[in-house]
Amino acid sequence: MPDHTHTHSAQPSAGALRKAVEHRSAPLVRWLASLPPWLPFLAMLVLILVGAVVGGIVGGVAVGLAAVVVGWLLYLSWPRLRPAERLMRLAVLAVVVAVGVTQLFPR
């Protein structure tokens, strides 16, 4: 006979985690949506270019920040994306992370 005394998990379910992240992200997403469309794009472009050009710790942090934003947006949009869109966004995230790692650990 199965033991049903430990049905409560210490970790939240994936659904609960997603709801919590979406809830906490909502004000920031609304703020980003209120900006002119070119401004967030320009901010990301500047972070990635600074990271690629400056290098070292400063470059790694700039690109790392861009990677966190890309990863966050990917996480939020994941359920609504088709497989091809997921693949493209994962590729962008991989490139940004690769640039950041390259800047932090040059040859």
Q: Which token pair is 66?
A: 């861009």
pLDDT tens per residue, range 87-102: 999 999 999 898 888 8
Q: pTM value?
A: 0.78
Residue 67 φ then ψ, to 5°: -65, -40
- pLDDT for res 106: 77
- pLDDT for res 87: 97
Contact 54, 46 (CB under 8 A): no
pLDDT tens per residue, range 27-81: 999 999 999 999 999 999 999 899 888 888 888 889 999 999 999 999 999 999 9
